[in-house]
Structure 1
Amino acid sequence: MVQILVIEDDEGICSFLQVELEHEEFSVQVANTGRQGIEKFSEATKNGNPVDLILLDVMLPELNGFEVLRRIRKVSTVPVIMLTARSETYDKVSGLDSGADDYLTKPFEIEELLARIRTILRRMKPSLTVRGLSLNTASMEVEINGDIISLSKTEFLVLKLLLEHKNTVLTRDKIISEVWGTNHYIEENSVDVYVRYLRSKIDDFVGEEFITTVRGSGYIIKDVL
């Protein structure tokens, strides 16, 4: 799951962003000061669960956003979107020159922020590609011949698993174990349901059945039919 760190001193904005981002299946951490933001970023890196993208306010207590960005850029190229109520060109130029990947002025529509996040993640994260289909492992989107298809979290996990094990038949039990885990009781036909969902979204664009059923065994994605 993509890890997003929100560094913002306005608790109302933090809560709003956390709810909206988690609804979009992102994992969210929040920091209310510049120093706390740097600490959380460092802790995540040390714990082996690094931050994938930062939303960074400019006007922060203790350390302002420009200083936070400067320190982070010494150790990381993690994508950063700066958020600020200041719309002056100088501030935008300063942020971009300091290494920000994008700059958004408050107030903003959440749809615009989400679109910018997805655009950056498409550039930054690798894709799994088979037969003209590319699965972006950060934005949880499928691209086929320039068409972008959004997936739910479970659809993404099922497709990702099959792509990672292409040319190998995966049993329903294996898919359930990897996608839902062993602590939940999931009926085998749940796998069939999500494969149908994926086929309904993918097959018309690919022009063929992308996920092959192996009767009595499970499912497979092949490099070549």
Structure 2
Amino acid sequence: MANILLIDDDTELTSLLKEVLTFEGFDVSEANDGEAGLSALNEQIDLILLDVMMPKLNGIETLKRLREKWQTPVLMLTAKGEEIDRVVGLELGADDYLPKPFSDRELLARIRAILRRTTSPANKANDCLEYQDIKVFPGRQEAFCQEMLLDLTTTEFALLTHFISNPGEVATKEVLSLDVLGKRLSAFDRAIDMHVSNLRKKLPNRADNKPRIKTLRGRGYLLVEE
């Protein structure tokens, strides 16, 4: 059973969502502002649903603070049209966002897609994917580059795993959105672009100073071969 922390000041909505998620088998705890949410966060939480507009500490500032210590997956809940908040949220390490209003079905699909990326069989904990100076351990959700542990969010980890599994192959945004985010790419959706940008910043430069991930305008991205 996955543990979900719901941080939203709309008590009517949180009550409804808690009922829906509990019925689907999730263990749900709730907080009605950012400060309370940060206090409630612990190692047992598998996923955070985080609203943007809240009193005391808004969702963006809450995300910024929790990313200083935690890499727990975060699904941002944003009001329709809050494009700037979505972009900033992704830049700060949110795994995905869902505009309000949303259906129960869409919310559950996003939650399950994120949890699938973070849940691996224990007996595969030591399996390793390796390419050049990068090592990825899917079962442990750990990645190393030049022997250094990379501080990646779950989505960045999933992106790197995809690239390592398909070096030199063009990955379109449509494919990455389905494989990594578990959703179809919609018009003006910049989530994949932001996650790739964040991943690039966290990967050390290659010895030859060539980019590790190349952008192919109008086509997608690829992991550069030797």
Q: TM-score, normalised by structure 2?
A: 0.53
- Paired residue for 1:107? 101
Q: Deviations over 1:94-113 (max 9, x none)?
A: 11111100111110001001
Letter in 1 for 2:74: V
The counterpart of 1:79, out of the listed 68, 73, 88, is 73
Question: How far is 1:92 from its partner?
Answer: 1.3
Equivalent in the alignment of 2:22: 22
Give 2:87's aligned amino acid: V
Corresponding residue for 2:2?
2
Q: Deviations over 1:43-74 (max 9, x none)?
A: x33xxxx2100000001110000111011111
CA distance in 2, matches of 1:70, 1:89: 18
Deviations 1:139-189 (A, max 9, x none): xxxxxxxxxxxxxxxxxxxxxxxxxxxxxxxxxxxxxxxxxxxxxxxxxxx
CA contact 2:60–2:85 (8 Å) conserved in 1: no
Q: Deviations over 1:189-221 (max 9, x none)?
A: xxxxxxxxxxxxxxxxxxxxxxxxxxxxxxxxx
Residue 51 of structure 2 aligns with an amino acid whose one-letter code is D
Would the aligned equivalents of 2:46 and 2:72 in 1 still touch at CA under 8 Å?
A: yes
User: How big is the shift at 1:129?
Assistant: 7.4
Q: What is the CA deviation profile of residues 63-88 of structure 1, one whole-angstrom value per residue up to 9, with x for unaligned ones?
A: 00011101111111110000021423
Where 2:116 maps in the other structure, the secondary structure is helix
Displacement of 1:90: 1.6
Structure 2: runs of 5+ lacking an equivalent? 125-226
CA distance in 2, matches of 1:71, 1:88: 21
Shift of 1:128: 5.9
- Provide the rounded CA distance (Å) in 2 between the counterparts of 1:118 and 1:88: 24
Match in the other structure for 2:50: 56
1:37 aligned partner, one-letter code? G
> What is the match of residue 32 of structure 2?
32
CA distance in 1, matches of 2:105, 2:91: 26
Specify the SS of the correspondent of 1:5: strand
Indicate which of 62, 69, 91 corresponds to 1:97: 91
**Distance in 2 (alpha carbons) for counterparts of 1:36 and 1:79:** 18
What SS does the corresponding residue of 2:111 show, helix, strand or coil? Answer: helix
For 2:11 and 2:80, the matched residues in 1 are separated by 18
What residue number does 1:11 align with?
Answer: 11
Cα distance in 2 between the residues matched to 1:110 and 1:3 = 18
Count of residue pairs brought into register by the alignment: 125
Q: Deviations over 1:9-46 (max 9, x none)?
A: 001100011000000100000000110000001xx33x
3-state SS in 1 of match to 2:98? strand
More helix by share: 1
Question: 1:166 is matched with which residue?
Answer: none
Give SS of 2:14's match: helix
